[in-house]
């Protein structure tokens, strides 16, 4: 076979889409039936949807595994440099539709199943979401591995094989109830267990200092517990079906030999205890979308998957390069998705110092040229810090190494700011105090060769406010890579009607070259195209209306404006600003039944962290207000409020194609980027949003006339903060705000329970309104009046919606990945041999 490697990933993109594997319908049909019989032990007459789904997965997986084998062979033979994306979260969602589209076998499979009397859309509903992530950060990782495979880049995703992903949300009497998510109960047909690549991971214990023959000090860590890491591989199919990379997820297990003694001595229960402890590590995803302060298990999870992954990388490197470490950082780049895997930095140092016996400077040169770090938040409460005491107990050797990294770093600080103690305190990896803390952000910056933020404004604020001194010490280390989303999942697969229309208009290579959508702008004024575009939106809204009815019992009219806010529940994202405005509309309608507004359906989807009281109160408030409004005849069908339970990737795929309006209303400076904003706009929703995160770049792309921007800017928020913000100014001076907040304290929305929504009012007044909800209310309300006016002008709205889709080219995750390759990873594409 001939090997072809292209020099840059650009070369791959400028060529038209490769012919994906064209599989005959008959072959697919036979494979599905064969699996029904031979893998599942059933037949066409007995099989239910679940069995059909599994048989279809198995038939698809045959194709996937063949490409996986070829990809691995190509990467091995070419000894390629590869990126290793370390992430505690991968929010994959379902894989069937995505894999079929990326393999180019969706239509054939659909036809094959139809001939077997089975509906593909129905059986796809059988697949549980892989919800191994909380929100944007985890979904970004999923989009990135899709793009990496699509661009033929050698890459491995590394993470945790959680037994339970993010909790399933039920709503009972308006309140969020968390139920365990058991996504693997009936097996996951996509994953492959790799017992041949098990790793052993030490924990706890103590460090012994020894003197080697050469008089050099040697450190030996005597762990108190060893756990096994068992890898599960999920194939990641690139669009076009050529490159298939892997996502490798580690499951923890008890190390077998370790407790047999206890067992044989009759200590069956003690032995069981140790099993339970080891197996707890990968049991459950932490559902907090901030940090889990001081949770021992969380640090162990982070170390466990980082250490397993590093060992795996080193095993592969040694197969090609033996004990010669000199090429390590030119073959291996590790991207840290937030600080969660930052413990990999001292772990690599430990291996290089204690195992490979390299000297400090050599080890540090290798390590600090291997890691790069992505920051996803400026919120101080979300920056990870671990108590040094806890570190000492779980990872005693790593704490020593961190102290040494810090000591040497402090000498650098002294050179730049001689005698400046305050500066050392500020920059130190160790926060001094009664309880010493390890600052994982500082460790990540010191131990990486590049640090990036996730949108222009966010990266600018990382430089200006979060790490200004680091930027001064190492000019050029801090950079930006604006986030992106995969257009394969977020347009082609989730919105087939719009995708087909786009194919007809501009050809079918836009999924690989999203800037092509720009050509749609030529049709933005075309009456026929507008009609087609809006008809598809309408049909998607009809489909969502059916889903809403099924999930909540609420009837909504697809002719109303579908106004959508879907994201984790957080005060900074300001779902409560949306809610206050809904209450204002309700109040206006009650005061004046002829109040002029196009009917609107406000749709929410959001999970709250189980321990985040106010976030849960906001969910309750949304549901109570919804119930009151939806049952009030006086609003005349002009206003509906829907809270869709259990928001997740597969639900997003149904909501997004049906959205008219996208709510992106965070307090300026708080949302690092956002990615839902991109997905909604790509599907023709118009954004109402603040100048925050990627909204700013979206506005630049679509133009100010095609987006509804409102609210205070970052600078204005800063200024307001400095002069002293008093929410009572707004309460006392704006009658509408006062009336709404007071309304919350009555029992109008919670019959018989006055005060049940008071915590909301309280947080906005006595609580100081930390996210400036009241300061932005008027401007938000005015922006909504503009939305209403724009929608009433159907031609204008259609044009704006088309232009939103047309201008989203920048936000493909392929562009993000190309930026990473150019600015950070310096990778080359590697074509897979036929």
Active site includes 19? no
Active site includes 648? no
Contact 643, 623 (CB under 8 A): yes
With CB under 6 A as the contact rule, the residue among 166, 454, 608, 737 that binds ligand F58 is 454
Contact string 676-715 vs ligand F58 (x = CB under 6 A) = -----------------x----------------------
Taking CB positions, which residue lies at the least distance from ligand F58? 136
Number of residues that bind ligand F58 (CB under 6 A): 20
Active site includes 815? no
DSSP 325: G
Q: Does 635 engage in binding with ligand F58 (CB under 6 A)?
A: no
Within 13 Å, how many C-alpha atoms sit on residue 574's CB side? Answer: 30
CB of 694 to ligand F58, least distance (A): 7
Residue with tokens 């195992």: 355
With CB under 6 A as the contact rule, the residue among 673, 695, 706, 781 that binds ligand F58 is 673
Q: Does 169 engage in binding with ligand F58 (CB under 6 A)?
A: no
The stretch among 62-70, 272-280, 666-674, 744-752 that binds ligand F58 (CB under 6 A) is 666-674
Torsion sign over Cα 635, 637, 638, 639: positive
Contact string 96-135 vs ligand F58 (x = CB under 6 A) = --------------------------------------xx
Please identify, using beta-carbon distances, which residue of 314 and 652 lies nearer to ligand F58. 652
Please identify, using beta-carbon distances, which residue of 275 and 813 lies nearer to ligand F58. 813
Please identify, using beta-carbon distances, which residue of 63 and 291 lies nearer to ligand F58. 291
Q: Which residues contact 577 (CB under 8 A, 6 or more apart)?
A: 665, 773, 776, 777, 780
Please identify, using beta-carbon distances, which residue of 243 and 816 lies nearer to ligand F58. 816
The stretch among 70-78, 282-290, 300-308, 518-526 that binds ligand F58 (CB under 6 A) is 282-290
**H or E stretch covering 352:** none
With CB under 6 A as the contact rule, the residue among 129, 163, 181, 289 that binds ligand F58 is 289
Q: Does 165 engage in binding with ligand F58 (CB under 6 A)?
A: no
As a whole number of angstroms, the distance between CA 713 and CA 764 comes to 20
CB of 135 to ligand F58, least distance (A): 4
Strand order across the beta sheet in which 561-566 lies: 639-643, 600-605, 561-566, 661-664, 686-689, 708-709
* Per-residue tokens: 655: 């909501």
- Crossing angle, helix 794-806 and helix 773-792, to 10 degrees? 110
Active site includes 568? yes
Active-site pick, 374, 675, 687, 750: 675
How many other C-beta atoms can be found within 10 angstroms of the C-beta atom of residue 405?
22
Instruction: Kindly give the residue spans of alpha helices, DSSP state H, lying in 601-663.
Output: 613-630, 649-655
As a whole number of angstroms, the distance between CA 227 and CA 241 comes to 37
DSSP 20: P
The stretch among 2-10, 284-292, 504-512, 515-523 that binds ligand F58 (CB under 6 A) is 284-292
Q: Which residues contact 259 (CB under 8 A, 6 or more apart)?
A: 270, 271, 274, 275
As a whole number of angstroms, the distance between CA 535 and CA 529 comes to 10
**H or E stretch covering 235:** strand 225-237
Please identify, using beta-carbon distances, which residue of 358 and 485 lies nearer to ligand F58. 485
Active site includes 376? yes
With CB under 6 A as the contact rule, the residue among 251, 275, 282, 483 that binds ligand F58 is 483
CB of 542 to ligand F58, least distance (A): 31
**H or E stretch covering 6:** none
**H or E stretch covering 696:** helix 695-702
Q: Does 809 engage in binding with ligand F58 (CB under 6 A)?
A: no
As a whole number of angstroms, the distance between CA 61 and CA 402 comes to 44
CB of 536 to ligand F58, least distance (A): 27
Q: Does 669 engage in binding with ligand F58 (CB under 6 A)?
A: no
Question: What is the secondary structure of 115-135 as a DSSP string?
Answer: HTT--HHHHHTTSPPEEES-S
* Per-residue tokens: 511: 């999924």
The stretch among 267-275, 422-430, 665-673, 773-781 that binds ligand F58 (CB under 6 A) is 665-673
Active-site pick, 340, 541, 573, 581: 573
- Interactions with ligand F58, residue window 132-161 (CB under 6 A): 134-137, 140
List of residues contacting ligand F58 (CB under 6 A): 134-137, 140, 288-291, 376-377, 382, 454, 483, 671-675, 693
Question: Any idea which residues carry the catalytic annotation?
Answer: 376, 567-568, 573, 675, 679
């Amino acid at each position: 076979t001939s090997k072809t490697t292209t020099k840059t990933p650009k070369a791959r993109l400028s060529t038209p889409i490769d012919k994906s594997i064209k599989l005959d319908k008959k072959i697919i049909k036979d494979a599905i039936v064969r699996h029904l019989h031979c893998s599942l032990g059933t037949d066409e007459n007995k099989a239910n949807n679940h069995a059909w789904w599994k048989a279809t997965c198995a038939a698809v997986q045959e194709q996937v595994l063949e490409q996986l084998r070829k990809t691995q062979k190509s990467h091995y033979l070419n000894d390629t440099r590869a990126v290793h994306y370390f992430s505690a979260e991968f929010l994959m969602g379902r894989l069937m539709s995505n894999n079929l589209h990326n393999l180019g076998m969706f239509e054939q499979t659909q036809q094959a199943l139809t001939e077997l009397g089975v509906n593909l859309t129905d059986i796809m509903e059988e697949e549980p979401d892989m919800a191994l992530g909380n929100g944007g950060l985890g979904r970004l990782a999923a989009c990135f591995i899709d793009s990496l495979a699509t661009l033929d880049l050698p890459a491995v995703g590394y993470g945790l094989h959680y037994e339970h992903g993010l909790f399933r949300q039920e709503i009972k009497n308006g309140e969020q109830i968390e139920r365990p998510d058991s996504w693997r109960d009936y097996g996951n047909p996509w994953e492959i267990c790799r017992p041949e690549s098990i790793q052993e991971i030490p924990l706890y214990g103590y460090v012994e200092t020894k003197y080697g023959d050469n008089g050099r000090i040697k450190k030996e860590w005597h762990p108190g517990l060893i756990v096994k890491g068992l890898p599960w591989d999920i194939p990641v199919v690139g669009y076009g079906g050529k490159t298939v990379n892997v996502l490798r997820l580690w499951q923890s297990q008890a190390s077998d030999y370790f407790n047999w003694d206890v067992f044989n001595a009759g200590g069956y229960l003690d032995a069981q205890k140790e099993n339970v402890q080891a197996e707890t590590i990968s049991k459950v995803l932490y559902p907090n979308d901030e940090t889990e302060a001081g949770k021992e298990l969380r640090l162990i999870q982070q170390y466990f998957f980082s250490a397993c992954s590093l060992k795996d990388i080193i095993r592969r490197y040694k197969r090609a390069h033996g004990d010669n470490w000199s090429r390590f950082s030119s073959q291996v780049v590790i991207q840290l998705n937030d600080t969660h895997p930052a413990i990999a930095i001292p772990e690599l140092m430990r291996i290089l110092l204690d195992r490979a016996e390299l000297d400090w400077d050599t080890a540090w040169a290798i390590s600090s040229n291997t890691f790069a770090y992505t920051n996803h938040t400026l919120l101080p409460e979300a920056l990870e810090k671990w108590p040094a005491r806890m570190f000492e107990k779980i990872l005693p050797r790593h704490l020593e190494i961190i102290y040494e990294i810090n000591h040497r770093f402090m000498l650098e600080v002294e050179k730049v700011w001689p005698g400046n103690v305050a500066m050392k305190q500020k920059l130190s990896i160790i926060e001094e105090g009664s309880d010493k803390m390890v600052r994982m952000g500082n460790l990540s910056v010191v131990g990486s060769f590049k640090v990036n933020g996730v949108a222009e404004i966010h990266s600018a604020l990382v430089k200006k406010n979060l790490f200004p001194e680091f930027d001064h010490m190492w000019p050029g280390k801090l950079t930006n890579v604006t986030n992106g989303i995969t257009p394969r999942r977020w347009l082609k697969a989730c919105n087939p009607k719009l995708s087909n229309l786009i194919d007809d208009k501009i050809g079918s290579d836009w999924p690989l070259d999203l800037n092509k959508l720009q050509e749609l702008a030529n049709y933005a004024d075309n009456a026929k195209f507008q009609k087609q575009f809006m008809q598809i939106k309408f049909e998607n809204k009809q489909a969502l209306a059916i889903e809403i009815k099924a999930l909540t019992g609420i009837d909504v009219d697809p002719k109303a404006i579908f106004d959508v806010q879907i994201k984790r529940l957080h005060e900074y994202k300001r779902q409560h600003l949306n809610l206050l405005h809904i209450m204002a509309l309700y109040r206006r309608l009650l005061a004046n039944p002829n109040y002029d507004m196009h009917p609107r359906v406000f749709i929410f989807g959001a999970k709250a962290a189980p321990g985040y009281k106010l976030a849960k109160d906001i969910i309750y408030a949304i549901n109570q207000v919804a119930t009151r409004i939806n049952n009030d005849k006086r609003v005349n069908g002009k206003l509906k409020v829907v809270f869709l339970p259990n928001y997740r990737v597969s639900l997003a795929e149904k909501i997004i194609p049906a959205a008219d309006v996208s709510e992106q209303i965070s307090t300026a400076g708080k949302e690092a980027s956002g990615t839902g904003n991109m997905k909604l706009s790509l599907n023709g929703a118009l954004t109402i949003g603040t100048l925050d995160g990627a909204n700013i770049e979206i506005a630049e792309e679509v133009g100010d006339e095609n987006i509804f921007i409102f609210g205070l800017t970052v600078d204005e928020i800063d200024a307001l903060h400095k002069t002293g913000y008093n929410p009572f100014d707004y309460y006392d001076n704006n009658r509408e705000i006062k009336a709404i907040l007071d309304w919350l304290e009555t029992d109008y929305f919670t019959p018989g329970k006055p005060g049940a929504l008071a915590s909301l009012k309280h947080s906005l007044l006595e609580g100081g309104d930390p996210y400036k909800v009241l300061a932005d209310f008027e401007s938000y309300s005015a922006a909504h009046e503009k939305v209403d006016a724009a929608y009433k002008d159907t031609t204008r709205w259609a044009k704006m919606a088309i232009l939103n889709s047309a201008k989203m080219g920048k936000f493909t995750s392929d562009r993000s990945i190309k930026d990473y390759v150019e600015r950070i990873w310096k990778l080359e594409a590697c074509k897979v041999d036929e």
